[in-house]
């Protein structure tokens, strides 16, 4: 398993490690030979005698150091460190940029360098006064956020009604989020076509058929299938209800989102 770089890796320190490895090999150190065999493709099958006699150079030592840290080459390790050096300025803005690019590795790295930001992971720093997790687009980013303590059921503070992750995520990601603990409310059930969950919720509380959710929409505004719509209408959903933000009916949403 590759070694982890420290939160603030230093290229000069890594260069020193390569020089130390070179010296250790020249001194006949057995652990140095083991590291070379494990990480340098040229000597992966070499015998002890071959390794002792090997013409092992500084560039070879640098390759070993790079591969020990999970990089295919020394130049790639250097390029990675240069990218880290470019990550300066407001760390919150850096996190926003990494999130916007869906760069989970960079996001995790920034949190490692600025661990105090984990305490703010649920703050409404995204669009529409929303925590970042409500706008997540990939499993990788979702996992990074959850590792940092993000609330998978957090919602935006939008005046008309808050949006959660399940109210906007692609269906495949939404299903994964449910596996990771996201709660399926009546609006999410309608949106994701989860008819059994919808019936369960309405059986427990019939008033949910009129519940106002994101943007002040009712479950019927979120209906993604005819079966879902019929289930809601059979239980008294108002076909002419208008959401609070756009003052639109469920039918108007369906024409926009589901032209079929």
240, two tokens: 């002419």
Distance of CA 128 to the CA centre of its chain: 20
DSSP-based three-state secondary structure for 245:
coil
pLDDT digits (tens, 9 = 90+) for 193-206: 999 999 999 999 99
Of 80, 91, 59, the closest CA to residue 9 belongs to: 80
Looking at residue 87, its pLDDT comes to 66
Predicted TM-score (pTM) of the model is 0.69
Looking at residue 91, its pLDDT comes to 86
pLDDT digits (tens, 9 = 90+) for 236-248: 999 999 999 999 9
**Cα 202–190–159 angle (5° rounding)?**
95
H and E: helices and strands count for the chain: 14, 0
Of 185, 108, 91, 96, the closest CA to residue 142 belongs to: 108
DSSP 8-state assignment for residue 6: P
Question: How would you classify residue 131: left for phi > 0, otherwise alpha for psi between -120 and 50, otherwise beta?
Answer: beta
Looking at residue 256, its pLDDT comes to 74
Given 3-state DSSP classes, what are the helix, strand and coil percentages for the chain, each rounded to the nearest 5? 60, 0, 40
**What domains does the chain contain, in order, with CATH numbers?**
11-85 (no CATH), 89-158 (no CATH), 186-257 (1.25.40.20)
Looking at residue 203, its pLDDT comes to 98
pLDDT digits (tens, 9 = 90+) for 137-186: 999 999 999 999 999 999 999 999 999 999 999 999 999 999 999 999 99
What are the residue ranges in the chain where pLDDT is below 50? none
Q: How many CA atoms lie within 13 A of 191 on its CB side?
A: 25
């Amino acid at each position: 398993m590759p070694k982890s770089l420290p939160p603030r890796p230093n290229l000069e320190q890594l260069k020193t490690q390569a020089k130390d490895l070179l010296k250790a090999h020249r001194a006949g150190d057995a652990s140095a030979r083991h590291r070379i065999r494990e990480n340098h493709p040229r000597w992966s099958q070499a015998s002890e005698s071959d390794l002792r006699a090997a013409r092992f150079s500084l560039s070879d030592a640098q390759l070993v150091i790079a591969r020990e840290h999970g990089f295919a080459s020394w130049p790639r390790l250097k390029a990675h460190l240069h990218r880290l050096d470019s990550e300066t300025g407001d760390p919150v803005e850096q996190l926003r940029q990494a999130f916007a690019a869906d760069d989970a590795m960079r996001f995790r790295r920034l949190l490692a360098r600025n661990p105090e930001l984990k305490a703010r992971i649920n703050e409404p720093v995204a669009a529409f006064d929303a925590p970042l997790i409500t706008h997540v687009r990939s499993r990788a980013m979702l996992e990074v956020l959850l590792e940092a303590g993000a609330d998978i059921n957090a919602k935006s503070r939008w005046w008309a009604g808050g949006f959660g992750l399940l109210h906007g995520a692609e269906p495949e990601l939404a299903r994964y989020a449910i596996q990771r603990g996201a709660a399926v409310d009546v609006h999410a059930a309608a949106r994701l076509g989860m008819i059994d969950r919808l019936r369960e919720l309405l059986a427990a509380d019939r008033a949910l058929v009129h519940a106002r959710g994101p943007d002040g929409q009712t479950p019927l505004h979120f209906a993604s299938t005819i079966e879902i719509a019929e289930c809601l209408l059979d239980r008294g959903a108002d076909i002419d209800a208008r959401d609070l933000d756009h003052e639109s009916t469920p039918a108007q949403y369906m024409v926009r989102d589901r032209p079929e």
